[in-house]
Structure 1
Amino acid sequence: MPTISSAGAPSPDSDPHRHRQVAESFGVDAERYDRARPRYPDAMVDRIVAASPGPAVLDVGCGTGIEARQFQAAGCEVLGVEPDARMAGFARRTGVEVEVARFEDWDAAGRVFDAVVAGTAWHWVDPVAGAAKAVRVLRPGGRLAVFWHVFQLPPEVAEAFGEVYRRVVPDSPFAFQGSGDALEGYQPLFAKAADGIREVGGFGDPEQWRFDWERSYTRDEWLDQLPTSGALTRLPPDRLAEVLEGAGAAVDALGGGFTMPYATVVVTAARAGAGAGAL
């Protein structure tokens, strides 16, 4: 889960999409995932909708349906594609239509969409194969928009988490970036998504959109979210407890809570029109 930018971001050199066992591990506690994961800024959803030619949205790696429900609330018709049947089942119970498949293998059956989106999920998709599939299912002028939360942990929490994380999970495919600039640490991930779009062709130039916001966490709220991280979903209970103990102690030292600055970053491009000669 690259919501933990300084504590669990996929290393740009690790090709997270190759770690299928992690990508398909989030359904171990789908209810917690849906409860604890942060939503996306309404301004982001509105901008993607406004920049798309119509309301048909394909949500890649839709998980429990967090962003799918936000796009539905904005007036869109959303179809989710999700590799984890447990996550897909949860999303269906919340009113989201979902088909279970890896996006690279999913059969569109001739359907086309106005937008293809992916919320904190595109790093689990091969960036070239994913962009190639997206360009085939988007109508001319349709928009690919993949987005991630980046947040900056307070230095005290970042250092304490980093120490216990490196000790307990030394072989993780995730990189821990400590208390450095979280947004800078994510740029290789954004660049990889943009490079995949450029390599495939059929799109205009990729852009980055950024939406800044913040959220306050209590100790319990923060510890509730941590086990939904891809870095931690497959840990045995004793090792997870060790990570949570260290993280909880750090939050306690701050007085039992903290305010987290977030930046939600979108990598996006529009499919070329039929007359543009790009396809």
Structure 2
Amino acid sequence: MPTQPHEARAFAESFGIDTERYDRARPEYPAELVARLVAASPGPDFLDVGCGTGIEARQFRAAGRRVLGVDPDPRMAAFARNTGIDVEVAKFEDWDGKGRTFGAVVAGQAWHWVDPVAGPAKAADVLRPGGLLGLFAHVFQPPDPVADALAEGIRRVLPGSPFAQESRSAAELYEVMFAKFADGIRESGRFGEPEQWRFTWEHAYTRDEWLDLLPTTGGLTRLEPDALADVLAGVGAAIDALGGGFTLSYTTLAVVATKP
């Protein structure tokens, strides 16, 4: 049984079940993050690991970069290609770079699915000298009534799920995860000392917008339709009690390191 995220392949590749919803509902990354990564990279070619539907890839393309995506899910890859992003289907650890090199290797909301030992080494192999490894993800915590309704719904339809039992906040979980990212980069011996960047921002959600986002998130991607509807009904009722919407505070964390 998998004990690490990168070993849970069926779960990692469950996000492509509804690519249109995923691309529509998942938020973009802060413009400040994109601009900073672009400015710090030594060349225009970006490799986007776990590119999904191409959300961040399109942002880098709009900033003038040439982007190649790598994703293990052919459904995600097909969607990204339809938006103009070149994508090759493979696990990053197994992907053949064919001698190509890049100014930056980036991963948005995806590096925890990559082997923590093989990933940084692979990135270093395809980066030019001075190239940048940039790993980033959104951290958020909905209002307590909304979070409680979600946890209760998951307990009801999926007893024993870690998403219903986790007691630590999202911020604590992501701090631990990003510390592990930095440790893996250090252990590779192929990069300078990693830096952590942090960007804060807000987004207002209506009831329908939040219920559109939830099925694209970790605990819900593999639920049967009836079970998903049950969970969403409970969460929707909690949002109705708050007046039909809420403003969510996001923190986008990044770990960045340069290849000497």
Give the TM-score taking structure 2 as reference length.
Answer: 0.96
Q: 1:243 corresponds to which residue?
A: 231
Say which is worse superposed, 160-169 or 239-248, in terms of deviation. 160-169
Contact 1:144 1:269 in 2 (8 A): yes
Instruction: Flag structure 2 segments of 5+ consecutive residues without an equivalent.
Output: none
**Aligned pairs for 1:141-156 within 5 A:** 141-156=130-145
Aligned residues between the structures? 259
Matched AA of 2:207: R
Specify which structure has the higher proportion of helix. 2
Residue 223 (structure 2) pairs with residue 266 (structure 1): no
Secondary structure, in 3 states, of the residue corresponding to 2:84?
A: coil
2:200 to 212, 215, 233: 212
Residue 185 (structure 2) pairs with residue 197 (structure 1): yes
Q: 2:96 corresponds to which residue?
A: 107
Alpha carbons of structure 1 residues 174 and 264: separation in structure 2 relative to 1, 3 Å: same
Q: CA offsets per residue over residues 244-267 of structure 1, 9 Å max, x none?
A: 111111111101100000000001
**What is the CA-CA distance between 1:17 and the residue it aligns to?**
0.9
Matched AA of 2:146: V
Contact 2:151 2:163 in 1 (8 A): no
Q: With a CA cutoff of 8 Å and minimum separation of 6, indicate the structure with the bigger relative contact order.
A: 1
Paired with 1:170 and 1:238, the residues of 2 have a C-alpha distance of: 15
Secondary structure, in 3 states, of the residue corresponding to 2:79?
A: helix
Q: 2:20 corresponds to which residue?
A: 31
Paired with 1:113 and 1:214, the residues of 2 have a C-alpha distance of: 32
**Aligned pairs for 1:20-99 within 5 A:** 20-99=9-88
**Aligned-residue RMSD, C-alpha:** 1.5
Q: CA offsets per residue over residues 110-164 of structure 1, 9 Å max, x none?
A: 0000000000010111111111100100011101001110012111111221222
**Aligned pairs for 1:111-130 within 5 A:** 111-130=100-119
Q: 1:4 corresponds to which residue?
A: none
Paired with 1:104 and 1:171, the residues of 2 have a C-alpha distance of: 31
Q: CA offsets per residue over residues 91-110 of structure 1, 9 Å max, x none?
A: 00000000000000000000
2:211 to 216, 219, 223: 223
Secondary structure, in 3 states, of the residue corresponding to 1:139?
A: strand
Secondary structure, in 3 states, of the residue corresponding to 2:117?
A: helix
Contact 1:79 1:97 in 2 (8 A): yes
Q: CA offsets per residue over residues 7-51 of structure 1, 9 Å max, x none?
A: xxxxxx941111100111111110100000010000000001111
Alpha carbons of structure 1 residues 157 and 45: separation in structure 2 relative to 1, 3 Å: same
Contact 1:177 1:185 in 2 (8 A): no
Paired with 2:125 and 2:153, the residues of 1 have a C-alpha distance of: 44
Secondary structure, in 3 states, of the residue corresponding to 1:231?
A: helix
Say which is worse superposed, 80-89 or 238-247, in terms of deviation. 238-247
Paired with 1:166 and 1:207, the residues of 2 have a C-alpha distance of: 38
Instruction: Flag structure 1 segments of 5+ consecutive residues without an equivalent.
Output: 1-12, 273-279
Q: CA offsets per residue over residues 225-249 of structure 1, 9 Å max, x none?
A: 1111132111111111111111111
